[in-house]
Amino acid sequence: MIEPDYNNLDKETQSYLHSLSKKDVERRFGRQLWEYALKHRLDYDELVEEETIRNLYNYKYVFNI
């Protein structure tokens, strides 16, 4: 079995997966991240970006060859 690494994908695919992950993170954790950012005086966009990248490595990839 081949286990793909996110870093080995082309730029267009990486960008697409990043945008999907960001939408997913904002949908699932947006309110919690916003409250955490306010409470700790952090940048909300930076928190979302960090969670987006973490979320990418939780995806299951399926390739049709």
Give the separation between CA 11 and CA 16, rounded to whole angstroms.
9
Mean pLDDT value across residues 45-60 = 86
- Counting the structural domains of the chain, the total is 1
Position 37 in a domain:
yes
Position 10 in a domain:
no
More confident residue, 59 or 58: 58
Which among 64, 61, 63 has a CA at the least distance from the CA of 21?
A: 61
Mean pLDDT value across residues 44-63 = 83
Position 34 in a domain:
yes
Position 39 in a domain:
yes
Q: Looking at the chain, how many residues does it have? A: 65
Model confidence over 5-40: pLDDT tens digits?
555 678 888 888 889 999 999 999 999 999 999 999
> In the 8-state DSSP scheme, what is residue 49?
H
Q: Which residues span the domain enclosing 55?
A: 28-60
